Every structure is written in C-alpha cells, then in structure tokens.
Structure 1
Amino acid sequence: MSKKKNYSLFDDVCGFVDEAASLMDIHPGLLDQIKQCNSIYKFNFPLKNDDGTYQVIKGYRVQHSHHKLPVKGGIRYSTHVDEEEVKGLAALMTYKCALVNVPFGGAKGGVSIDPTKYTELQLERITRRYTAELIKKKSIGPALDVPAPDYGTGAREMAWIVDTFEAFNPELINAKGCVTGKPLSQHGIAGRTEATGQGVFFGIREAVSVEEDMAELGLTKGLKGKKVIVQGLGNVGYYSAKYLSEAGAKVVGVAEWNGGIWDEKGIDIDALKVYQMENKGFKGYPKGEFIGKSNDLLTYPCDILIPAALENQITSENADKIQAKIIGEAANGPVTQEAEKILVEKGIMVIPDMYLNAGGVTVSYFEWLKNLSRVSFGKLEKRYDMEKYRKLMGTIENATGEEFTDEEKDALIKGASERDLVLSGLEETMVTAYHDMNQKRKEKDIKSLRTAGFILALERIQTSYLDLGIFP
C-alpha cells in the first residue's frame, strides 16, 4: 500500500478539475484561483526524548480555499506526509465540501511521523506543539480553520488539540468548535466514529438503487448478494464492510498492509476485526485463504471494490486487471487519473472519493454546529415528541378499540436521539448529493461520476465567487 515515487496527488486533483472545467463556462482567472492553495504553512519543531536526545518534527497545514470560512480538513500522522500530499488532500476537501453542500473551504494538515514508533506521552507533546504552531499563525479556530482526525490520529489527539487551544484562548466561548472528531466527553458528537463508513454505505446503496445504471453494468438493482472486496480494515473500511454486510452484501475479501483474507463463502467482519485486533493482522485466521501479497486482492473477482486505505492504489499498472463492476473510493485518491480513464473505458463505475467519503466532514459539520450552539441535538424536543406520539397512539387506540403491543409502543413513541438525528442528516446529505451528481453526469452525457462531481462542485464554488463580485 505504498505510494508511487514522484506521484503528486495535488497535480492529479488539478487534472480532474481541468477536465471538468473544459465542459463548463468558467472564467480562466477564476479557475486558476480555485485550483491554487490560498496558504501553505510548513514548520519544524523539536521533540525532546526521554533519554535527553532531540528529534526535529516536520508539520504542515494547508488551507486550499477561502471561498467559505472556516476551512475544514483532517490532520494525519504518517511518514508519507509531505507538502504535495497535504496540498492534494486539502484541495480534495474543497471540492468535497462543495459537492455535498457543506459550507466549509478545504484544508488539510499533517505531521511526518510514524505514530506507532512513539509513546503516548511523545504523541501528546507532538500534538500540543503542533497545535501551538497553528495558533501562532491563526491557522486554527472555530471561525478560521477547524481540523479533524485523519489517518494516524483519532479522538485522543483531537482532545489534546482542543485542550491546548482553550488554554491559549480562555475567553473564547466557542473554543470547543476549533476541532471536530472529539470524544463525547469533550463535546464531540454521537455517530462521528462510524460517520465516514456509514457515508460510504449510504453512497454505494444509492448507486446500486438506480436500475438503469446497474443494467448498464450487468448488475441487478440493490445490495443483496453483491460480492464486496475491501482494502483496509481501519475505521472506514470496517464500518463500510459492516453496514454493507448487514444490508445483504457479501464481503469476500479484505486486504491489509500485512496480508489479506479471501473467502468466497463470505467473511464475518466483526469476527475478523476482533482477530485483527488481537493478532495485529490476519495471518492464522481459521476461515478463508490468507493472501500474503494483499494488493493482489484488488484484482480478484467481485461486484464492488472498496479501497479504504491510502491514495494511489489503483494505477495504470493494475487498472486493466480490475474485475469489479463498481469501485467505491472510501480512501482519498486511491485511483489515479490515468487509471480512471482505463476503468471508465472498461465500463467500470467509479464512485469518487470526493463524494463517497464525505460522511466524516458532514458529521464534523454537525459537531461544529453543536459546539457553536452549545446544545446537543434532540435535547430540546425529544421529550416533547415522545409525549406527542404517546397521545397520538392513545387517540388511535380509543378510535379503533385495538391496543398496541409494548414493543410497538416503544418503537413508535421513541424520540430521536442525537445519534438518530446525526445519521438522518448524514443520510439526507449523501442521498441528495449522489443523485445531484448522477443527474449532472447524465445532463453532460459523460461516463465519469468524478467529472460530474467536480463540475457540480466547481459550479457551486464559482457561484460563491461571483456573488462576491470578484470575477465577471
């Protein structure tokens, strides 16, 4: 799952933008502005080790677009982090937010380390110092720039970030909104952990619900019986596979960096995840066949392939060997521009990352709103709704002479929890965005959903600039 040398995700994203813009009427000066990064901040800071030695840590924060503020994007800890990667990921965030109509500009951050090689105390020092560097340059804040978790980071790191930010800004009442993906105890939001994987599920479910599109691929409508291969069983891959399995799809392959599992009978995702956590990999798993060279699984036969690991996984070198009918990009940039052309010519549907993994930023948006309003979703109306439904059921029972069972009452009277409302909002966002994108594809008479997604995103960004009167 390593990245190809000299590969530039940012150049790839700009290539997709140019392709979409060629099918639009857009001012060339505006297009240049949209494509470029508004600001690039790279810095170094020292880490003192327990033995008294020092190490220089390299950090980045790129704000790609200020057409809407705050900007939004995760922070990743990885040895692959460099300026080009962070620029590319920040650019993708701009178009992703515009596509799903979340009012943020795009940003991304990273620290060039392998987090597995550091103790928890060292990671805390790194995270707090990284945050302090962002504060110095006003590159973090609820109205300016709102980071989130990404590859190599999670709720723990976000808690350190918000604590550091609050220490520097004790008078700021909305300080909790400086970062999302926080633990619930730190004003995070219910449903955030599984949000990206849940969004992947909603997106793929909508794609296979369009009968005429499935007929073109030689597939039946719906998820039931569809064979799925997932690359990466981290947070996103696990929840994607879990929800697809629960909806009737059959996961037949799972690839990880240190090996994969292939089982045509179907894989129990929860059991495999437990085994992975206990054994640090899949080797020795009692069911299915262990595949040492896990990237080979990308080319195994299936209906839906979900790359949920790193970028640059399907390239011109292996695209012609892909047997899937649908590729759902759960990771950022797993299919290169050259590879996509090969896949589209083969008649394979590629559901683009800029849409499919937008569940994380969508629920992050809800968390940010919660932090600004300082009240949990559902807290004000839940009990009112429950009492209203209880009276309604009583009226129905009196009118019909029939009584509901206790189970029926519990199901119908229940008020919506924060998680219920978050997932409802996520579903609405993903459903609407998919059909908008697919409709744009058909309007333009093009094969690529990605190109259609970029057209839709560019139209919305263009409108933001035009409404400011900056460009004619």
Structure 2
Amino acid sequence: MGNSIPSNFGFFKGVEKNFDKAAKYTRFSKGILEQIKACNSVLQVKFPVKIGENVEVIEAYRIQHSHHRTPCKGGIRYSMAVNQDEVMALAALMTYKCAIVNVPFGGAKGGIRIDPTKYSEYELEKITRRYTSELVKKNFIGPGVDVPAPDYGTGAREMAWIVDTYRSLHPNEVYSNACVTGKPVTQGGVRGRVEATGLGVFYGVREACNIEEDMKRLGLSVGIEGKRIIVQGLGNVGYHAAKFFQEAGAILVGLIEYEGAIYDENGLDLEAVVAHRASTGSILDFEKAKSVKTSSEVLEYPCDILIPAALEAVINESNADKIQAKIIGEAANGPLTPEADEILNKKGVLVIPDIYLNAGGVTVSYFEWLKNLSNVRYGRLEKRFDENMYAEILNIIESMTDKKVSKIEKKILLRGPDEIDLVHSGLEDTMIGAYREVWDIWKGEDGVEDLRTAAFVCAINKVGVAYEELGIFP
C-alpha cells in the first residue's frame, strides 16, 4: 500500500502488548494469563511440489493458539509475507475474536509462503491439496479439531479443494464438509459468507455511531448517514464494507489501493470506480477525483471514518499523528501498531479494534459449520410454515377491517426468511450484542482506557473462565 512497516515491528509482540495492557483489569493469576497468551501448537511444514519441470519446496504453517474450545478456527493465507510471527499473531487474534462474539472456537491460523499470482490454477490446486494432506497427517484439520477458512490470497475455490482432499482421506466421515468453511454453496457453503466480514464491519461501526454519548464527544451526529468515509483496500472486505456504508447514506470520499488512491470530497460512486478499475487496471484517473500515487498519503486526508481493510501496521508511529479521521474501524488484522494506538487515543480518536470489528467472517463461518453438522439448509424447516402463518394472520386482519392490501404489500408481508436473511440477521445480532458488551466494560468502573483494551478484557475473561472450568489448573 505504499506505507512502510517499521523495521522493529513484531506483530505477535504487538498482540501480546495489547494483551498485557488488558490483563491488569482481570482477576486471573499469572499462570492462567500466560496459558491464555501462549500458542498451544505450532506446525511448520516444508513439502515438495512439481511446478512445470522443476520441484519447488513450499513452506507452510498451521498454528493453533488456544484449545480452551475446540475445534480451533482460522483462515489460511497465501502470501510471500507469511512467516511464523505473523501466523502466531493472527491465530491469537482469532482466539480473542471468537471469544468476543461468543463463537465457541479456539483460535488458529494457517499460511503458505507463496505468491499465488505466480502460479497457474492447476499448480495452486496441487499446492493446496498437498498442504491439506500434510494437515491431515499431523491432525491439524477436522470438523472437531481445526476448521480452516479463506483469508488473504484464498477463497471459495481453495476451500473446495481442501474439503475434497479431506473427504478423499476420510471417505466414511458423515460430517466431513464441516472440516473447512468459506466453501462454495454447492459444496456445503452458506449464503452470505462472501460479504460477511465487510457486512460485520458495517454493523459494528454503525452500532458505534448510534451511541449518542460517543458521537457527541467526537463532534459528530448520531448514525451513519452523511459521514465521510475513506476505505483502504478494495478486496473482498473493503469492497463490501464500502458498499454497505454507501447504501446506508455515508459519503465515500476516498479509496486506497496498492497502485495509488483517489479522493473526492463530494463522494465517489463505488461501482463506477470498480468498473473503471476493471477497464483500466487501476483506480487512478477516475473521473473528477484527485489521484494520489503514494497511496498511504490518503490515510491522512480529511474524513469522519477511516476503514483500513488491507494489511497490518499501515498506521504506525510515523503517520498516526497526521490521521484526521475521528473514527477508525479496523477491518484488517492489526492495521494499527501499539505505538499508533497510543498516539490516536491521546488525540481522542475512537478506534474500533480488529478483534471485534472483523469478526463477521468467523461468525458466519460458525453458521456454516453448524449447517454442515446438521446437514440442513437454514430456512428449510420454517420458511413455508412462516409464510402460511403470515397468510393466515393477514386474512384475519383483512376480514376484520374489510380492507385489502395490494399485491406488492402482500408479497412483502408474506415472505418467509431465506438462508441469507437468517445469516445476515444472526450476524447483525452478534455484532450489536458484542459491541454493547465491550462498550460496557470500557465505560465501567475499572477505568479501562480505550475500546481495544476493553475488547481484550472481554476476551480474556471468557477464555480464562473456560480454562478454569476445564479444571486443568490444580
């Protein structure tokens, strides 16, 4: 993104620093806190794959951070930036994320150190299937053991390869589809998974903007409508977050991508930008917008809400004091360093932390996992019953009032929920409930200084109680 990460930046140490900051507000002993913080299982594998006429040795990881709940849960990313420190940090964040949104998983993460753009689809399939077989051999995948999902550089296609490989190695396992989430719907996936993280970001920021006390302190009106927003990253998360914000009446003033950024204080049309990029290969030179080749500069432009939805550490001690946004919603994992956090908190910026805000993906993954265990599509059992019941109620009302509703109104009133309606509803309820839980800790009597610390306190409390209930600390 054109923004240099400080050379001393250790992602896992940054997560531990936030953990330690929050731990003092909890009641747990040092031993339990150390157990919560530690990565329980670290798998590094190197395996050969024939690419063209040559054999390449592929480096890959799967790290299970916590077993306080099983299975473990977390995405698999394909990137040349993959290393043990990054995967450990992301696995730890998954543990805390799942705890905050009350999803009964331990945290995990995986990664393969490759540039996926340098391989053909056939070569990527070979790498993915070999990685899956390594996970199976080491017992690092399974519906009750460890359930991967898509992440940076992966998607439904890779998840389909994983589930197919797993099924071939476990031909008689009735719940084999539940070994991975983020699959195509035809392979046991759930509708609504694609947009889940971006939609969760929207629900979380919307809930924050609905709290009058906080908006008054920031000098902003309540609600999303009319707020100026900048989004960094036009991948799956950034695109869907921008889409839902724009549909809710926010003004999309800036978009940032790796090739540069565009800014227009009057607002950008997201779909028009996407179409422009598809035809030109770049968001730059979009009509009427200001083009900025050093993309990180636009992080510092005027806006009400900044959504970093790309890489970690893009806001750090070198640029945090220049950020003009009043609200930062961490759609990516770790986009702020701890040093940036301190600077922004002193400025009074409301930072909505990643361990809460980007939990939409794992929440809907949980719904998919439950669907695979039950082997029943959401809405299949109740949709027709609901529609018939609504029709009966409507008939009674019409007969009592001697008035008829129009065909369009009847269609709306009698519609039963489809799978995507139920998934979106469950996600919305989860994000609203979790934000209120974290906010109550922040505003409680313990003097917790910021929302991120409150989120970590919330997570530590839940994981700590789970460990106590397991009775493993005599």
Q: Note whether the superposition's TM-score is higher than 0.5.
A: yes
Pairwise CA distance, 1:7: 2.1
Residue 470 of structure 1 aligns to a residue in which SS? coil
**Equivalence for 1:43:** 45
Q: Which of 32, 35, 41 is the aligned partner of 1:33?
A: 35
Q: 1:111 to 1:6 in 2, by over 3 A?
A: farther
- Spell out the pairing of 1:97-246 with structure 2 (5 A cutoff): 97-246=98-247
Q: Which residue of 2 aligns with 1:67?
A: 68
SS at structure 2 position matched to 1:161: helix
In 2, the alpha carbon distance for the partners of 1:11 and 1:280 equals 37
Matching residue of 1:378: 379
Q: State the Cα deviation string for residues 195-239 of structure 1 (Å, max 9, x = none).
A: 000000000000000001111111111111100000001100011
Secondary structure, counterpart of 1:331 in structure 2: coil
- 8 Å contact kept, 1:41–1:62: yes
Q: Following TM superposition, by how much is the alpha carbon of 1:47 offset from its aligned partner in structure 2, in angstroms?
A: 2.1
* CA displacement at 1:15 relative to structure 2: 0.7
Q: Secondary structure at the match of 2:378?
A: coil
The residue type equivalent to 1:448 in the other structure is D
1:278 & 1:139 partners in 2: Cα distance? 42
Equivalent-residue separation in structure 2 for 1:423 and 1:124 (angstroms): 31
Query: What are structure 2's unaligned runs of at least 5 residues?
Result: none
Whole-Å Cα distance in 2 between the matches of residues 184 and 4 of structure 1?
Answer: 41
Q: Is structure 2 residue 329 aligned with structure 1 residue 328?
A: yes
Q: Deviations over 1:348-390 (max 9, x none)?
A: 0000000000000000000000000000000011001101101
Q: Hey, what's the Cα distance between the residues in 2 that align with 1:406 and 1:205? A: 33
Amino acid of the structure 1 residue aligned with 2:31: G
Aligned to 2:277: 276
Provide Cα deviations, 1:414-459, integer angstroms capped at 9, x if missing partner: 0000000000000000000001101110003333101000001111
Contact 2:367 2:423 in 1 (8 A): yes
SS of aligned partner of 1:324: coil
* Residue 284 of structure 1: how far off its partner (Å): 3.0
Partner of 2:395, secondary structure, is: helix
Q: What's the counterpart of residue 419 of structure 2?
A: 418
Taking the aligned partners of 1:41 and 1:405, their CA distance within structure 2 comes to 61
**Aligned residue-pair number:** 471
1-structure distance, mates of 2:132, 2:169:
10
Match of 1:395 in 2: 396
- Aligned position for 1:267: 268
* Aligned counterparts of 1:105 and 1:63: Cα–Cα separation in 2: 8
> Within 2, Cα distance between the matches of 1:405 and 1:378?
26
In the other structure, the counterpart of 1:5 is: 7
Report the Cα offset of residue 325 of structure 1.
Answer: 0.2
Aligned position for 2:96: 95
TM-score w.r.t. the length of structure 1 is: 0.98
Deviation, structure 1 residue 470:
2.4
Q: State the Cα deviation string for residues 76-123 of structure 1 (Å, max 9, x = none).
A: 001110000000000000000001100000000000111111111111
Conserved in 1, the CA contact under 8 Å of 2:25 and 2:448? no
In the TM superposition, what whole-angstrom CA distance separates every residue of 1:110-165 from its partner, at most 9, and x where no partner exists? 00111111111111011001101100101000000000000000000000000000
Superposition pairs for residues 69-88 of structure 1, below 5 Å? Answer: 69-88=70-89
Q: CA deviation at 1:9?
A: 1.1
> C-alpha distance in 2, partners of 1:141/1:277?
38
Contact 1:27 1:471 in 2 (8 A): no
Is the CA contact (8 Å cut-off) linking 2:163 and 2:176 kept in structure 1?
Answer: yes
TM-score (norm 2): 0.98
Identity %: 56
Amino acid aligned to 2:381: L
Hey, what does 1:455 align to over in structure 2? Answer: 457
